[in-house]
Homo-oligomer: A and B are copies of this chain.
């Protein structure tokens, strides 16, 4: 009975983290959709929905701390729980970055778009995918899936460079575009940051499974 309750609590923790993950993926999608369609209301709804992400982070933290304090889990369970705390922090930041994109969308909603957006929505799809993969890797303790994110991150970085160069060239040719180009430049950085957070999660998963520190390039063994 006791053991099964602990398993239930772990399953419940996993479910809450997944819920957070699904929600932030929705926020990434909607924030960029709001940017593309210049839909101010959609952008505002993203800002509102991010409050739920923030609330879920607190729920995850509480569940994790309770599990550690009351159940005194050992070894791999303890590692799973502490990874949960870190993942919730990353997902909360992803929510904040989607909110940042939504704010740029609001800023740009009353002006004509500088150009049809192609690379930014592509970056958004990759960033969403990176977040999805990182959570799959977490729940499945799947190192291979975690490492697949390195490749996605590279593509995102490449697209960010393309967007950056293109916007710089547009601004240089026509300085009247500067105030519309800079928010797009920031959006591409926000998306890059989102994929960095997915990479953080992936690194934490590899650490959790292999019990060594991948992140920060450290080589610390447990």
0/1 string, A154-188, CB within 8 A of B gives 1: 00000000000000100111011011001001100
Q: For the complex formed by this chain, how many copies does it contain in all?
A: 2
Q: Are A82 and B65 in contact, CB atoms less than 8 angstroms apart?
A: yes
Chain A contributes a number of interface residues (CB within 8 A of B) equal to: 32
> Does A151 lie at the interface of the complex (its beta carbon under 8 Å from any beta carbon of B)?
no
Q: Are A182 and B179 in contact, CB atoms less than 8 angstroms apart?
A: no
> In the bound complex, how far is the Cα of B185 from the Cα of A130, in angstroms?
28
> Does A85 lie at the interface of the complex (its beta carbon under 8 Å from any beta carbon of B)?
yes
Residue in B51, B73, B216 whose CB lies within 8 Å of A217: B51
> Does A218 lie at the interface of the complex (its beta carbon under 8 Å from any beta carbon of B)?
yes
In angstroms, how far is the closest chain B Cβ from the Cβ of A11?
21
Name 29 interchain pairs, CB-CB below 8 A, sorted by A. Answer: A51-B217, A51-B218, A54-B215, A54-B216, A54-B218, A55-B218, A58-B213, A58-B216, A58-B220, A61-B82, A65-B68, A65-B78, A65-B82, A69-B73, A69-B78, A85-B85, A89-B89, A168-B178, A168-B179, A168-B182, A171-B175, A172-B175, A172-B176, A173-B175, A175-B175, A178-B178, A182-B182, A182-B185, A186-B189
